[in-house]
Copies of this chain bind each other. A is one copy, B any other.
C-alpha cells in the first residue's frame, strides 16, 4: 500500500469507530482531525467533505459486518447452528465487537431518517442484505430438512433481526448486557424448540 492509500485507510478506520459511536450526523471533520492527528489540509486532501467520508465510513462498517457474519456462518453448515451464530454476532455488537458503538445499520437508520437520503438508502441496502442472508439460511435449512417447513423465511428473518436490533438498543441504552442476554436466551429456545425440525 502506498503512503497516500495508507493514510486514507487510517482515516476511514478511525472515522468508522468515531462515527459509529458519536453519530454520523454529530461527528465533524474537526473530530476526525482530532482522532487521526491530521491537519485540515491532510484530511481534506483525501476527503473533500464529511458527506463523502461518511459514505466511505459506512461502506467500511458494512464490509466489516459482512465479514463477521460470513465467518460466523462458515463454521457450521447446519441451519440451526447458523441461526444461533447470528445471535452471537449481535451479542458481540453489544460488546463493541467488531465495531464500537453498536450496529452501524441501526445507527444510520435512526440518525439519518429524514436528513441524509443517500446514507439512509445505503442502510436500507445493508439491512436487506442481512435480511436476505438470514432468509437464505432458513430456506436452505428447510431444503435439508433441518428447519420446519411451516416457518416463513422472509417474516422470520424480519422477526429475528428486529428482535436482536431492539435488544441491542436496550443494552446500549442501559449499558448492561442483560437485555441482550434475555433476548438471546429467548431466541435460542425459540429456534431450537419451534424452528428446528424434530
Contacts and interface: CB of A to CB of B under 8 A. Distances in A.
Interface of A: 21-23, 25-26, 101-102, 106-107, 109-111, 113-115, 120, 123-124, 127, 154-155, 158-159, 161-167, 169-170, 172-174, 179, 182-183, 185-186
A102 B123 CA distance: 17
B172 A158 contact: no
B23 A115 contact: yes
Contact of A170 (B107, B161, B173): B161
Given A111-B111, A115-B23, A182 B169 contact: no
A114 B23 CA distance: 8
The 10 A-B pairs with the shortest beta carbon distances in the complex, nearest first, are A166-B166, A162-B166, A165-B166, A162-B167, A110-B110, A109-B173, A155-B182, A25-B26, A163-B163, A158-B182
